[in-house]
A = this chain, B = another copy of it.
Amino acid sequence: MEMKENNLENKDEGLCDVFNSHEDAVERVKGRMPAEEEYAELSEFFKIFGNPTRLKIISLLTVEDLCVCDICEALDLNQTTVSNQLRILRANNIVKFQKEGKMARYSLTDLHIEMIYKVGLEHILE
């Protein structure tokens, strides 16, 4: 792999073939990349927000904590669906819950979740 070093600052122009693209830019950005595993974990985390049912559950819980049954009713969904999605949300550390008798009261894990939800909503509303 031949090199074409270019130490002038901000020299972003240049040939862009596979063996000799903007070497300096490539090196800079590569140097700031998190580990492979963190991308995997982070994409799993964001994937959870990528389903309307889960997003609705998150949305409800930004308003107040709710039991499974309330979520079913508010969203007009059957219990299996809600329970399954809550399991996924739990497994990904997006919601937590406390048992109260035979009920389970769910809430968001922390403020990150609310922030992400709200910034996303802001974005799509332009």
Contact = CB atoms under 8 A, between A and B. Distances in A.
Given A47-B50, A49-B49, A67-B22, A60 B42 contact: no
B33 A59 contact: yes
Main secondary structure of the interface of A (DSSP, over half): helix
A123 to B, nearest CB: 4
Nearest to A49: B46
A113 B72 CA distance: 31
A38 interface: yes
A126 to B, nearest CB: 9
Contact of A69 (B16, B93, B124): B16
A72 to B, nearest CB: 7
Contacts of A73: 18, 21, 26
Contact of A124 (B18, B21, B32, B41): B41
Contacts of A26: 66, 70, 73-74
Contact of A46 (B30, B115, B120): B120
Contacts of A28: 63-64
A91 to B, nearest CB: 13
Nearest to A72: B18
Given A29-B74, A112-B122, 9 more contacts: A16-B67, A18-B72, A21-B69, A22-B69, A26-B73, A28-B63, A43-B54, A112-B123, A119-B119
